[in-house]
Amino acid sequence: MLIEFKAENFRSIRDEITFSLLASSDKALDGNLIELDILKKDDRLLRSSVIYGANASGKTNVLAAMYNLQALVVNSVRNQIGDVLPYSPFKLATEYGAKPTKFTVFFVKNNVRYKYRVSFDSEKIIDEFLYYYPNNREALVFERTDTTEFRFTTDKRVQNDISKRTLDNVLYLSNSAQQNYGKTLEAFKWFKENLHIVGSMPVVQDYSTIEMLKNDSSKRDIIKALERADLGLVDVDAEIKLFKPNDAPQEVVDKLPRSFDMDNGELQRIEINSYHLGTDESGNKQKVWFNFETEESEGTKRMFSLIGPWLDALENGHVLLIDELELKLHPMLSEHLIKLFHDKNYNKNNAQLIITTHNTNLLNDEIFRRDQIWFTEKDADSGSTDLYSLVEFKPRKDQNLLKGYLMGRYGALPFISS
């Protein structure tokens, strides 16, 4: 579970922003809350959160920052000397190109709280630390400063050996987990296994849904969910096929990176078949094959892309991040998907959902608590992103949130010149 995330000097985010899933003292919609004994007294977590804002205000960059940190944790251990890190600083002020990007995240894994922080530039990890809270008491796992200076309070010999084998452009968290060091392994697994991010394209971007179709039980769940979405589908199957570059169209080959091994490399192609209910010549019901890519609507493709990660998150208690949830989806379908996370009958393992959207129909106090609603706004002078919660405005209990937003009370609206 995610508790809080901070980011600084990343894309449009210049100064530090804080995104929190800690609930306020508001008594509304208790079903939207998660209660854990390991949290501080009276603290509760939110099951979901939504981010609004004008186009180009930085909504996507909030999620992209989390993705960037996840990718850094999962992939940095593969780096060789000289490999460049995924450094993308604020570009509208020259001095920020010489400053590090900083990420801090508070999360829960296996009923233990963790706090992890890292700062880096394109060449090296500058600072890094990990704390955990067994029995609700803070304990240092490791601290790294000035790239090569380490401090340990436990397992010093083991950790010192690992630190000596950690390159400047590799996270100690990743390297120590790769070497099966138990006190960092669980934190690493949270990034790799419990954080799932889906972008704003309607096409299938990852293989979650396809992999789930290989399991009979999971496939039944997917088909049932697609049927409930009123898409007309009664069955679907898919597979990932490998083929050689020589068998690919020239326009595909032209887009391959220069480093691609044309002789030994393999490409992947997703083949999806969908089926609708039709009739034969005698009027009997039969399944009719459709070409998923050319004959299904963009909304059906988007729903298919979402349904695997959605069900997987609910089943396993993951944190799911969705950029532009409303893309190609009917507003009622978006609302239905969100409410699954708020329903304890479906969300039994405390999964969490974070979305960006322009769908103002969701600004409804029957769907979201005030502390679940966030906004991004771009500073007119600096071009940097500001992130803030609706709670800061202290709206009255009877105030119409949708009307207030569209009237500009909370900012985060586009300024359209005449």
The count of other CB atoms within 10 Å of the CB of residue 383 is 15
Q: HEC profile for the chain?
A: CEEEEEEECECCECCCEEEECECCCCCCCHHHEECCCCCCCCCCEECEEEEEECCCCCHHHHHHHHHHHHHHHHHHHHCCCCCCCCCCCCCCCHHHHHCCEEEEEEEEECCEEEEEEEEECCCCEEEEEEEECHHHCCEEEEEEECCCEEECCCCHHHHHHHHHCCCCCCCHHHHHHHCCCHHHHHHHHHHHHHEEEECCCCCCCCCHHHHHCCCHHHHHHHHHHHHHCCCCEEEEEEEEEEECHHHCCHHHHHCCCCCCCCCCCCEEEEEEEEEEEEECCCCCEEEEEEEHHHHCCHHHHHHHHHHHHHHHHHHHCCEEEECCCCCCCCHHHHHHHHHHHHCCCCCCCCCEEEEECCCHHHCCCCCCCHHHEEEEEECCCCCCEEEEEHHHHCCCCCCCHHHHHHCCCCCCCCCCCC
Find the angle CA(112)-CA(16)-CA(145) to the nearest 5 degrees: 65
How high is the pLDDT of residue 211? Answer: 86
For residue 411, name the pLDDT band (cuts at 50, 70, 90): very high
How high is the pLDDT of residue 262? Answer: 62
Segment 63-67 shows an average pLDDT of: 96
Q: How far apart are CA 397 and CA 384, in angstroms?
A: 32
Give yes or no for residue 205 having a pLDDT over 60. no
Q: How far apart are CA 342 and CA 336, in angstroms?
A: 10
How high is the pLDDT of residue 390? Answer: 97
Segment 204-226 shows an average pLDDT of: 84
The chain-wide mean pLDDT, for the chain, equals: 92
Structure tokens at 351: 């999964």
Express each pLDDT in 106-117 by its tens digit.
999 999 999 999
Give yes or no for residue 203 having a pLDDT over 60. no
Of residues 50 and 206, the one with the higher pLDDT is 50
Q: How far apart are CA 385 and CA 62, in angstroms?
A: 9
Q: How far apart are CA 355 and CA 326, in angstroms?
A: 9
Give yes or no for residue 204 having a pLDDT over 80. no
Q: How far apart are CA 117 and CA 115, in angstroms?
A: 7
Segment 381-406 shows an average pLDDT of: 93
Q: Give the range among 48-57, 112-121, 242-251, 335-344 with minimum mean pLDDT.
A: 242-251
Segment 99-112 shows an average pLDDT of: 97
Q: Give the range among 76-90, 100-114, 206-220 with minimum mean pLDDT.
A: 206-220
Delineate the domains of the chain, giving CATH numbers in brackets: 1-200+323-418 (3.40.50), 205-315 (no CATH)
Strand order across the beta sheet in which 233-243 lies: 233-243, 267-279, 285-291
Of residues 198 and 47, the one with the higher pLDDT is 47
Q: Give the range among 109-123, 197-211, 239-253 with minimum mean pLDDT.
A: 197-211
For residue 130, name the pLDDT band (cuts at 50, 70, 90): very high
For residue 206, name the pLDDT band (cuts at 50, 70, 90): low
Of residues 257 and 45, the one with the higher pLDDT is 45
How high is the pLDDT of residue 184? Answer: 98
Give yes or no for residue 345 having a pLDDT over 90. yes
How high is the pLDDT of residue 202? Answer: 47
**pTM, to two decimals:** 0.92
CA dihedral 115, 350, 59, 302 (to 10 degrees): 140
How high is the pLDDT of residue 76? Answer: 96
Give yes or no for residue 303 having a pLDDT over 70. yes
Give yes or no for residue 260 having a pLDDT over 60. no
Give yes or no for residue 247 having a pLDDT over 90. no
